[in-house]
Structure 1
């Protein structure tokens, strides 16, 4: 019995961000208003990727999941991402830890990390994830982390699964991923949404 699309996290992630990108294209450029709930649900699909990367990204996974859950909860009363940010601006809490705006920024960084990671996976030779993950971490998270966290993540890079192990955890094979180009769709969709 073949596996269905629900068993393929990369395809589910790609499809959810493609839908968001389609909605974003249809919106008026001067008044973009991404639905907070739709965005948060799409982002919740990404957490499985952090879980598959092992100990090096365990804290990123926990932080990402907590921030997405906050956005999901907030979306019950705040309909769009711009209105979520505007509310924090009015309250003067944009930079406050735990604010929806700050949580949105953290989720964006998590999405950026996944985007860069898959871009690196596609251009990096061999079966190791270490170089791809190290470059992605250095580009996205390292500028915002202190020395101790950077060192801990660096040590954890040696515990990363191989590319083939990652694809197996994601119920994908390399050929299927490269043919479907799900990471490319994810990358393009994310780029469009997050500019």
Structure 2
């Protein structure tokens, strides 16, 4: 992949706005806002190429499953919030169904990756422009997603991270910046994104924990 700015036009402000609204009411966690934020975050990783396939490989299919339920007139009202989704699927014995993908189970996989996203971006925000971002990615990965991945994926992911660009190149690719841009502003943008992502993760994690759903197979 070239070092040119990413063609998929990652919009960090859109993600932050979605997450900020999502975080406003922990008792009514909007599935639409979560999906919209994640669809935009997917572009961030697409900008960095196949190196993050361990995060992005199934994201599109998972988002499609959730959007299908949101657009289905038979059940869309039950998928307005994460709370209503969990209640509906528990009531109809759908949480562990092998015939129909569970929305709660599907979102749980996205939720786990959100922890990685938050930690990775926060670690990168602390680096100098010339610093490699691979070590930051490995640190974030080991603390989050690695716990759910088999050895083969962990090994592949760890090796792939050696191919990540340095901080300045990453910003140019993913954030649409240019070398020499206002570094303080870009750093603050990254910190804001990381903090909003962490808050959204914590809200969602508590919801899963309160409903005993963190171990959905």
| TM-score (normalizing by structure 1) | 0.82
Deviations 1:11-37 (A, max 9, x none): 32222222323x32xxxx6xx112212
- Aligned partner of 1:89 in structure 2 is 90
**Correspondence 1:1-12 to 2 at 5 A:** 7=9, 9-12=11-14
Matches of 2:46 and 2:10, distance apart in 1 = 15
Report if the CA contact (8 A) 2:116-2:145 is conserved: yes
- What is the aligned residue count? 183
Aligned 8 A contact 1:55 1:160 in 2:
no
CA distance in structure 2 between the aligned counterparts of 1:13 and 1:81, rounded to whole angstroms: 18
1:74 and 2:63 equivalent?
no
- Cα drift, residue 8 of structure 1: 5.5
1:151 is aligned to 155
After superposition, give the CA deviation of every residue in 1:38-78 in whole Å (9 maximum; x if it has no partner). 22112211101221233221242121222122222222312
Equivalent residue number for residue 128 of structure 1: 132
Aligned partner of 1:116 in structure 2 is 119
* Deviation digits for residues 83-131 of structure 1 (CA, Å, limit 9, x no counterpart): 1112222233434573111111111122211110111112234421111
Aligned to 1:188: 195
The residue that corresponds to 1:3 in the other structure is none
Q: Quick check: 1:54–1:160 contact (8 Å CA) kept in 2?
A: no
C-alpha distance in structure 1 between counterparts of 2:138 and 2:162, whole Å = 10
**Structure whose residues are more often helix by fraction:** 1
Is the 1:115–1:183 contact (alpha carbons within 8 Å) kept by the matching residues of 2? no
CA RMSD of aligned residues (A): 2.3
1:140 partnered with 2:139: no
**Runs of 5+ consecutive residues of structure 1 not aligned to the other structure:** 1-5
Which runs of 5 or more residues in structure 2 are unaligned? 1-7, 203-217
CA deviation string 1:129-154 (max 9, x = no partner): 11111111111110101111111111
Is residue 2:106 matched to residue 1:106?
Answer: no
| Alpha-carbon distance in 2 for matches of 1:18, 1:92 | 32
- Asked if the contact 2:19/2:33 (under 8 Å) is kept, the reply is no
CA distance in 1, matches of 2:133, 2:12: 17
